[in-house]
A and B are shown apart, each in its own frame.
Chain A
Amino acid sequence: MMKRLRAYGPALLVICLVLAVWQIYATSGLSNPANLPAPSHIYQALVIQRAVIWDNSLQTIAETLIGLALAVMLGGFFGVIIFLSAMLRKAFYPLLVASQTVPLIALAPLLLIWFGFGLQPKVIMVVLYCFFPITIAVADGLNTADSQLIDVLKSMRASRWQTLRTVRIPAAAPAFFSGLKISATYAVTGAVVGEYVGASQGLGIYLQTAAHSDSINLVFALITVIVLVSLALVGTVLLLEKHFLAWRA
């Protein structure tokens, strides 16, 4: 208990302090409540709209999880391919880097035109946001395996596949989780941006509706939900990392 308090206490204290200062400032009359609502009003909006927020959150969470899962598969695949073949690395690496220079917000309307208002364009947005950090993390991670471990496997006449499976992939796991943590922070943003451009349901489109109807309390409430969903996703990744990398403890 004390250990957890020491770990999370400082952050919780800062959050409480910020909320307290914010509440005092917002209710003191110094700020316009139409621009900056008090945290208590944001909480009220959350409670009043909880059913609608929940339905839209489920949609965004589904898009995020499907997109992140696909990004993990694609990133893992490309990471291994890039590591295994110098020729494929030369062929794909510039394309992968170039793909990251395209502003993804500009791609969202195109995806909407190509794939419509359904799940697909949002999932693709999440994949585009997330797969690059995973690809690079996997490719670099596979390269970080200790050369002495590789030598031991070579001395046993292990095949390339055995070396990959026994040494390189487990050695890449810490790098993979670092990439996954970055991707997890991007994933919800990807889904929300995709929805913002055009969707029938989701936190992004709900946020846009709230902004257009000047419901500032609801806008802040939705931003809070987006942050909480992102934190929950990163927290899940941290738990998975702790479980799978128990040997590092």
Chain B
Amino acid sequence: MPTALKLKNITKVYGSGRHSLAALSEISLNVKREEIVCLIGPNGSGKSTLLKLVAGIEEPTSGSLTLSGTPGYVPQQPSLLPWRTVEQNLRLPGDIAAGGTRTDQAGIRQLLADFGLLEFAGAYPKALSGGMQQKVALLRAVLWNPAFLLLDEPFAPLDSITRLEMQQWLLELQRKFRSTVLCVTHDIREAIFLADTIYVLGQRPGHIRQICEVGLARPRQPRHLSTARAKKLEKDLYGWLVPA
């Protein structure tokens, strides 16, 4: 598969002089097209900063970043515009960039129907559960660019059952649109369940400590988490993230 994203020696420093703070140091990574890559690491390891650099929200201090197009970005908290209905939120990509993909009303309604959200088309975000809101935010990111999704701990605020449901939903979405996904998570089992490759980041300044190929079969099922391979990965990741 061709490369969808290439980072080379990315460094990010906030401020300057005595008050400077290095958030990321010499990060290099490749993400292949249609691959799901998870970034996992302790607080302060720069995971979200890295995602913001890829999203174009912030600029790296040094290093090169090669990416085709602008990815669909989903932050940690549901980021829907509260004054817009679900359908109006999904029109946002079309409002920002005319000619965006599937921004016509029929396309949006079809997408909502495909993912079981049509009955909520006219609802304001406040009326939806956290999981529903995050589903809409993911669909909005897909409408912006279905080829590449950047997800910053998208399921962190959800309870464990909803989170598992959302993880499966995300995999379905990724299969349907053949998306490349770069996802930040704190959750080791979530990373194993979703990812093809896991990058383990170390404490500030964030740096890559380990790269780990998951190697579980696709389409991924919850039972895959009980395999010997998944158990070993979980133990290894736990060891790298929580040093004895």
Contacts and interface: CB of A to CB of B under 8 A. Distances in A.
Interface stretch (B16-24, B52-60, B189-197): B52-60
B92 A151 contact: no
Contacts of A155: 55-57, 70-73, 150
Interface residues of B, number: 25
B82 interface: yes
Contacts of A167: 81
Contacts, number: 60
> Which bracket fits the contact residues of A?
20 to 34
Contact of A248 (B71, B81, B126): B126
B93 A156 contact: yes
B187 interface: no
A166 interface: yes
13 contacts: A148-B75, A149-B81, A151-B57, A155-B70, A156-B96, A156-B97, A157-B70, A157-B96, A166-B96, A170-B83, A173-B83, A247-B124, A248-B82
Interface in B66-114: 70-73, 75-77, 79, 81-84, 92-93, 95-97
Given A146-B77, A151-B79, A166-B92, 19 more contacts: A148-B75, A148-B77, A151-B75, A152-B75, A152-B79, A153-B96, A154-B56, A154-B57, A155-B150, A156-B70, A156-B92, A156-B93, A156-B144, A157-B56, A166-B95, A170-B83, A245-B83, A247-B124, A248-B82
A173 B71 CA distance: 30
A178 to B, nearest CB: 16
Contact of B81 (A157, A170, A245, A246): A170
Contacts of B73: 151-152, 155-156
A152 to B, nearest CB: 5
A158 interface: yes
Interface of B: 52, 55-57, 70-73, 75-77, 79, 81-84, 92-93, 95-97, 124, 126, 144, 150
Contacts of A157: 56, 70, 96-97
Nearest to B70: A157
B96 A158 contact: yes
A146 B79 contact: yes
B156 to A, nearest CB: 13
Given A156-B96, A156-B97, A162-B96, A148 B70 contact: no
Max chain B Cβ within 10 angstroms of own Cβ: one of A153, A155, A245: A155
B54 to A, nearest CB: 9
Contact of A148 (B79, B92, B150): B79
Contacts of B150: 155
A41 to B, nearest CB: 50
A155 B149 CA distance: 11
Max chain A Cβ within 10 angstroms of own Cβ: one of B82, B97, B144: B82
A11 to B, nearest CB: 28
Contacts of A246: 124
Contact of A154 (B55, B83, B93): B55
Contacts of A153: 96
Contact of A247 (B52, B72, B83): B83
B231 to A, nearest CB: 35
Contacts of B72: 155
